[in-house]
């Protein structure tokens, strides 16, 4: 009769077999002689290994976009984005969550990370805590995760117990869940509503998932947080208009952002920022809309912080593109620029002369084709039918 120790041995053997089958745990022939290679050879070889990472993330673009849309929907309704990870995956998640508040001025607690062992635990303590599935579930309950929240579990293998417990509990609470993994099929992918699988293949050091898998995780989390904030109106074009200016470097960056967005002078930018209390968003709307800081703040409040929606709509500027003469003039300008090597040469019309719109067909007379009537008159030639039309 088999005892408890036999069951434990079977479980350990199954665990080892599962690990052996993971692509991230395998090596290759090229890795057998690392200790015999030169430093330059190792640096080149390692970076060649890393070149597969961006393509692996790009291959998961559709799943990533679906996940971001689901997260944005929760954040717009007042929910939170909660990352969950253990070991290096948890530290990468903590880094991305920490950057959101300074980069996008997110509310405290709007983007958080749940790390196995706690954020104050040592790296060794965090590594040991990843096997506690119930601790992951307890962490989610302690955060009070609910239907308005989105929980993203990060695990290279897709089988970290702490992450599985957290995602399972989040699903039970009605939250939107996602899994970021570096393997094809995983338990985390089956548990979560959305799976982002960036399969990076074998690591430079067999099993060291802080390398390629970690780089892929960082790129995925970069996309999740950055694109979510763009969708929430936290940027204007590619400008970080919601950045928190907490030091001199960031205050200088805010001034550059406002100047780039508005084209205003340094004096005008400083004046607008002073009135806006240092807010790049308010200063930009104030300058571009020609309103004071209070009005700019009210406009942003009614558009959920979107600068684009807070600005008045303007008609496209430039000449009215009507009439054959105007189009012919543009074609001539293009041909002249091509002949002169596209140096921006301009074909100018004589001072005081207006372009003539083509006459209706019933008014045309004479032997010069209508398409050349304007050009002949511009050269000073008499056009048959001119006397007929003069009154």
Pairwise pLDDT comparison (37 vs 317), residue with the higher score: 37
Residue pLDDT, tens place only, 149-190: 999 999 999 999 999 999 999 999 999 999 999 998 899 999
**What pLDDT sits at residue 65?**
98
Catalytic, out of 130, 168, 187, 195: 130
Check if 169 is active-site: no
Q: Where are the domains of the chain?
A: 39-232, 235-310
pLDDT band at 127; cut points 50, 70, 90 = confident
CATH number of this structure's domain 235-310, picked from the four choices 1.10.8.1080, 3.40.50.720, 3.40.50.300, 3.40.1170.60: 1.10.8.1080
CA distances from 123 to 17, 126, 128 (A): 26, 5, 9
Which residue, among 314, 304, 312, 264, has the nearest Cα to 284 in the 3D structure? 264
CA–CA distance, 84 with 250 (Å, rounded to integer)? 29
When mean pLDDT is compared across 7-21, 84-98, 183-197, the lowest value belongs to: 7-21
Kindly list the distances between the CA atom of residue 158 and the CA atoms of 18, 162, 207, in Å, as whole numbers in the listed order: 11, 11, 14
Is the CATH number of domain 39-232 3.40.50.10490?
Answer: yes
Rounded to an integer, what distance in angstroms lies between the CA atom of residue 265 and that of residue 282? 16
pLDDT of residue 67: 98
In three-state secondary structure terms, 172 is helix
Taking a C-beta distance cutoff of 8 angstroms, is the pair 97, 83 a contact? yes
Strand 176-181 to 81-85 pairing: unpaired
Half-sphere exposure of 224 (CA within 13 A, CB side): 33
Q: What are phi and psi of 204, to 5 degrees?
A: -60, -40
State pLDDT tens for residues 52-94: 999 999 999 999 999 999 999 999 999 999 999 999 999 999 9
pLDDT score for 333: 65
pLDDT of 10 strictly over 70: no
Q: Which residues contact 177 (CB under 8 A, 6 or more apart)?
A: 150, 151, 152, 153, 167, 170, 171, 191, 192, 193, 194
**How many residues would you count in the chain?**
391
DSSP 311-352: SPP-PPPS----SHHHHHHHHHHHHHHHHTTSS----PPPTT
pLDDT of residue 123: 76
Residues 6 or more apart whose CB falls under 8 angstroms from that of 390 comprise none
In this prediction, residue 390 carries a pLDDT of: 47
| Contact criterion met (CB below 8 Å) for 260 and 274 | no
**Catalytic option among 25, 66, 94, 99:** 99
Rounded CA separation 266/317 (Å): 26
Q: Is residue 119 among the annotated active site residues?
A: no
In Å, how far are 143, 184, 244, 287 from 101, measured between CA atoms? 18, 33, 8, 26
Looking at residue 319, what is its pLDDT? 46
Nearest to 385 by CA among 368, 360, 358: 368
- Each residue of 317-373: pLDDT tens digit? 444 555 555 566 666 666 666 554 554 445 455 555 555 555 555 555 555 555 555
What's the CA gap between 48 and 42, in Å, rounded?
Answer: 10
Share of the chain above pLDDT 70, in %: 72
Token pair in block for residue 105:
């001025």
Structure token pair of residue 373: 């009537």
Q: How far apart are CA 92 and CA 152, in angstroms?
A: 12
pTM: 0.74
Give pLDDT, residue 318: 47
Residue with tokens 């240092």: 278
At 235-262, the pLDDT tens digits run: 999 999 999 888 999 999 999 999 999 9
**291-308 pLDDT, tens per residue?**
999 999 999 999 989 999
């Amino acid at each position: 009769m088999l005892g408890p120790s036999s069951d434990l041995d079977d479980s350990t053997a199954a665990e080892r077999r599962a690990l052996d089958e993971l692509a991230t745990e395998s090596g290759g022939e090229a890795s057998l002689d690392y200790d015999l290679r030169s430093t330059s050879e190792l640096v080149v070889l390692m970076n060649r290994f890393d070149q597969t990472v961006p393509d692996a993330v790009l291959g998961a673009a559709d799943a990533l976009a679906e996940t971001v849309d689901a997260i944005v929907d929760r954040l717009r309704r007042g929910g939170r984005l909660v990352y969950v990870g253990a070991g290096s995956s948890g530290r990468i998640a903590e880094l991305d969550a920490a950057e959101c508040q300074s980069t996008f001025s997110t509310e405290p607690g709007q983007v958080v990370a749940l790390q196995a062992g706690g954020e104050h635990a040592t790296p060794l303590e965090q590594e040991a805590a990843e096997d506690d599935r119930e601790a992951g579930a307890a962490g989610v309950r302690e955060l009070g995760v609910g239907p308005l929240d989105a929980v993203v579990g990060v695990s290279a293998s897709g089988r970290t117990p702490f992450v599985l417990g957290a995602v399972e509990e989040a699903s039970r609470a009605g939250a939107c869940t996602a899994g970021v993994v570096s393997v094809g099929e995983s338990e985390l992918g089956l548990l979560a509503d959305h799976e982002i699988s960036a399969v990076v293949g074998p690591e430079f050091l067999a099993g060291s998932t802080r390398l390629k898998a970690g780089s892929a995780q960082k790129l995925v989390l970069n996309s999740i947080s950055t694109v979510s904030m763009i969708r929430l109106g936290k940027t204007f074009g590619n400008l970080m208009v919601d950045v928190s200016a907490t030091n001199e470097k960031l205050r200088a960056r805010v001034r550059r952002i406002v100047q780039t967005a508005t084209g205003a002078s340094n004096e005008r930018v400083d004046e607008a920022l002073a009135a806006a209390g240092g807010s790049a968003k308010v200063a930009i709307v104030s300058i571009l809309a020609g309103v004071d800081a209070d009005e700019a703040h009210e406009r942003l409040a009614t558009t959920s912080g979107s600068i684009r929606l807070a600005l008045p709509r303007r008609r496209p500027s430039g000449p009215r593109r009507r009439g054959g003469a105007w189009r012919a003039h543009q074609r001539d300008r293009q041909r002249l620029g091509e002949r002169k090597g596209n140096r921006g040469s301009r074909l100018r019309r004589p001072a005081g002369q207006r372009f003539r719109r083509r006459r209706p067909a019933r008014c045309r007379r004479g032997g010069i084709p209508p398409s050349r009537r304007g050009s002949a008159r511009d050269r000073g030639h008499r056009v048959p039918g001119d006397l007929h039309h003069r009154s």
